Amino acid sequence: MVDAPSPAALEGLHPVGRRPPFGEYLAEAWRRRSFALTLAGHRLVGSLLQNRLGVLWIVMRPLSIAILYGTIFGLVISGAARPEGYVRYIIVGVFVFEFFTGSFGAGSKAITSNAKLVQSLGFPRILLPISVVVEQAMRMIPIIVLLGILLLVFGEPIAWSWLLIFPILAIMGVFNLGAALIVARLSVHARDVQQFIPILNRVLLYISGIFFNIDGALEGMPWGLWVVHLIPTYDFIAISREVLLESYTAPAIAWVAAPLWALVTIVVGVVYFWQAEARYGLSE
C-alpha cells in the first residue's frame, strides 16, 4: 500500500534542512539569482561607505602591494628572473591575483559570516558564495580601469588584445566561484580553514610568478616548470599578461590549463557544496 502524500508535499513545502535534488537546487538558485546580485551590491556599497576614501581603497590595496613588493624584488632579482617591462609585469600580476584572493578569502566566510541569514531564511545557500564572487567582480571594475591607465603611463601600446582580458577574468571568476564553494563548506565545519587561507594566498603570491619571471628562474629545472605551469593562479596571470603585454608570451599549456581548472573546480565545488546543503546553519 502506497502512503498518500502529505498536504505539505502537495503544496511543494519541505522540512527545513532538507537537501533538494541537484537539478531542483540549481533551478531554485537560478530563480533567486537577483538575491545574490542585490546582496553583493549592498555589501559593496556598505563597505565603501565605512571609509572616507570610498572606492579609492579598492585600488589602493593592489597598488600598494605592487609598489612595496615590486620595489623589494626589483632590488634583488636579476638575470633571467627579471622580466622585460618589469613594472608592467608586476602590475598585471598583482591586479589579476587580487581577484582570486578576494574571492577565496571572502568565500571561506560566505556561510559563517551570514549565520543569522542562514538560520532564519530558506534559500539555496550557494547564493552566498555566488554573491561573494559577484562582489569581487564589481571591485575589479575600478581595478581594471586603473590597470589600463598604468599600462599606458608606463609605455605599453594599446592593442585590441586588451579586450580579451574580460573573457579571461570571466573564466577566472568561474574558477574563483568553484574554489569559494569548496572553502565555504570546509570552513563551516572547521573554522581553522579560515586561518589557513591567508597562508595559502601568500604561498600562491610567490609561486605564481607575480614579482619575478619564474620561467626564467626555473629554466634549468624542467620538473619545477611543469609543476608551476599547472598552478591555476599562474595560468590565469600568464594568459592575462600575454593579452596585455606586448613583450610577454605565456606558455601554451596555460591557455589549456586555465579553462580546464575553471571547469573542474566549478563542477567539484558545486557538487561538494550542495552535498552539505542540509547541514548549513545547524552547527552555527
Distance, in Å, from the CA atom of 257 to the CA atom of 269, rounded to the nearest integer, reads 17
pLDDT for res 81: 80
User: pLDDT: is 68 or 261 the higher one?
Assistant: 261
111-123 residue pLDDT tens: 888 878 887 777 8
The mean predicted confidence, pLDDT, of the chain is 86
pLDDT given for residue 213 in this prediction: 86
What was the pLDDT predicted at 281? 65
Cut 0.75: pTM above it: yes
**Which candidate, 194, 173, 199, places its Cα nearest to that of 261?**
173
Residue range 225-236: average pLDDT? Answer: 92
Mapped to the 3 state alphabet, what secondary structure does 213-269 carry? CHHHHCCCCHHHHHHHCCCHHHHHHHHHHHHHCCCCCCCHHHHHHHHHHHHHHHHHH
The phi and psi torsions of 41 (rounded to 5 degrees) equal -65, -45
Give, in order, the Cα–Cα distances in Å from 74 to each of 43, 69, 130, 212, 234: 37, 8, 37, 8, 20
Tens of pLDDT, residues 145-203: 999 999 999 989 999 999 999 999 999 999 999 999 999 999 888 777 888 899 999 99
Q: What is the pLDDT of residue 119?
A: 77
